[in-house]
Structure 1
Amino acid sequence: MGGTLIRTLYEEERDRMSMFTKVGAEAAAAGNNEGDAKESPIVSFKSGSTFKVGVKSINDVAEYYGYGMFGKVNTFLPEKAAERNAKGYVTKNPSLWDQAADLLYADANAAKEAGADEAAVKVFTDEAYLYKGKKRYLRAFFDLTTGKDIVVDLSPKQEQTLKATIEDNLDDLDAIAFKLTKKGSGTNAVVALSAIVKMDRDLTAEECTNFDKLGEAPFDMASFETCLYVADTAEQTKNLVIAGFDIGRLGLSIGASAGTSAQPNAQTPPPADAAASLEIDEAELPF
């Protein structure tokens, strides 16, 4: 769904919600199993998107590790989240996708030990990286056009950009509206949060009225749980096949391991332009 929520993110909320790295997949699974699922605040944040927003709190953010493959498999969380250390490395309960990545990294090590050149080894490490969980962030804003809270999905670099702007205006969040934008796509995607200097000119009467409601209610942190799609073991297996991995290497087969589909009450996977298949930021690659 991508460091650490503010007060390192933001330790207060991190302790309470655990689907998000230290807020956890348990929260996500619980949310998906509710009989009366609430409307998710996540919105499509594709290239060309523009929102006029208010910021209720710098702490309205959650970190998670999402899995998926750009153009093939939309972002999901495993129903049982892997345990990670402070640096984000999996230490316990790896998902099927983590296990696939480990096998490919083992292939890379074997090739290296056999004397393969750097380019040949990199073929394996590049492929392994595609299966790893990627750190992502969900950040909430107050949409001045609709008068509702919205959530956008961000890479770590994008989250850093937006958080820096919020920090620069921290003392005036109750008086400043912003324009949230995204331009470009893939590794060239750029997000920005720009202060609207002349609010009386650039906001409609309705948007001004909604801005006055900014402080009426805090963002409901529990609604983050509705923003991400949770896949069970069977669906993770199917997704590995779609991604092109030989599931036989994990002792799996579709007939034996994928007899059930996703959780009965799991939310529909997000559309491809919302919190969709992970875009890889080359600046964040580990090689």
Structure 2
Amino acid sequence: MTQFQTGAEALGSLIGGNGGGSSKKDKVDFTKLGSEPIKVRVKSPFDLMRYFAYGVHGKVNTFIAKNPPTYNDKGFASGNLTPWDKASDYYYKLAQKEPDKSAKRQELSTLGYRFRAKPRYIMGFYDLESGKDIIVDFTKKQAEAVYSTILEYVETDEDGKIIEDGEHDIYNMAFKLSKKGESTNTVGSLAPIINLSKGLTAEEQANLESSAGQPFDTSMFEGVLYEMDEEEMIKSLVKADFDISILGLTIGGNAAESNEPTSEELPF
């Protein structure tokens, strides 16, 4: 499994039914959702990208690895481990030595989860107020909540898969997109606007009409994520309160030895 998936491939990983630090932030940035929803068009059910990201809320902002690991089908790093993967693996190994369902095992497993790469989703929408394509970043759970609404208004085949060239109701709809809650309890929401004449301003209605049939600019997915090389990842581990000496690492140094996990050591 690769670090990035787009379109139908990314959709499959979301719903299971279809198939040193650089970024291009000057090119495009994420749209931040506040307490008030924004009105959007969903140009296609396939305008999304999945990626694996590291980070610790409040300590290290979300980032991706410049030299990413390989992932197995369950989404665990299985080769070419980064310093963060090794930190995660360290705690998972310790957890396996503790009794099942014990408090200590749970504590260590939580630390293992803290440092592992987790799937996130970038979804593309058309902002009806600005008349421009936008991208929004979601956790997997947030993306699932948003996409559950999209699934109500798309055409599927007999196997439940979205038909790529189907006559989808979303093409004639407008929605309110929002995030609600705080910190790790934030949830995503996408709600249809039932009465377009009352729910949209004249300008928003004009943008909805003019954008009909127009594809989403998928180039917006490129280069938007912050990328760390190994040295910066080691520094970020320190910021996340991990003792890098456990892995034989130093700032500006390398690991003393490889820490690739065996199949018996992985947490599944």
Both proteins in one fold, TM over 0.5: yes
Partner of 2:51: 64
Partner of 1:204: 201
Partner of 1:283: none
User: Are residues 1:131 and 2:115 paired?
Assistant: yes
Partner of 1:172: 169
- The alpha-carbon distance between structure 1 residues 49 and 225, as it changes in their structure 2 partners (threshold 3 A), is farther
Gaps in structure 1 of 5+ consecutive residues: 12-27, 258-285
How do 1:1-287 residues align onto structure 2 when only pairs under 5 Å count? 7-10=8-11, 32=23, 39-46=27-34, 48-110=35-97, 112=98, 118-170=102-154, 171-215=168-212, 217-256=214-253
Deviation at 1:116, TM superposition (A): 9.7
User: Structure 1 vs Structure 2: percent identity of aligned residues?
Assistant: 36
Letter in 2 for 1:150: I
**Contact kept? 1:41, 1:149, Cα under 8 Å:** no
Partner of 1:22: none
**Contact kept? 1:183, 1:189, Cα under 8 Å:** yes
Partner of 2:161: none
Letter in 2 for 1:119: A
Gaps in structure 2 of 5+ consecutive residues: 13-20, 155-167, 255-266
Letter in 1 for 2:107: V
Deviation at 1:206, TM superposition (A): 1.3
Length, aligned pairs only: 233
Q: In the aligned structure 1, how far is the partner of 2:57 from the partner of 2:33?
A: 16
Corresponding residue SS for 2:129: coil
1:8-64 Cα shifts (integer Å, max 9, x gaps): 4347xxxxxxxxxxxxxxxx97xx4x7xx7621411135x14110001000001111
Corresponding residue SS for 1:254: coil
- The alpha-carbon distance between structure 1 residues 117 and 64, as it changes in their structure 2 partners (threshold 3 A), is closer
Deviation at 1:142, TM superposition (A): 0.3
Letter in 2 for 1:160: E
Give the TM-score normalised by structure 1: 0.73
Which is helix-richer, 1 or 2? 1
Corresponding residue SS for 2:220: helix
Partner of 1:282: none
- The alpha-carbon distance between structure 1 residues 70 and 221, as it changes in their structure 2 partners (threshold 3 A), is same
Corresponding residue SS for 1:45: coil
Letter in 2 for 1:44: K
Letter in 2 for 1:200: S
Q: In the aligned structure 1, how far is the partner of 2:59 from the partner of 2:142?
A: 23
Deviation at 1:109, TM superposition (A): 2.9
Superposition CA RMSD, Å: 2.7
**Contact kept? 1:135, 1:155, Cα under 8 Å:** yes
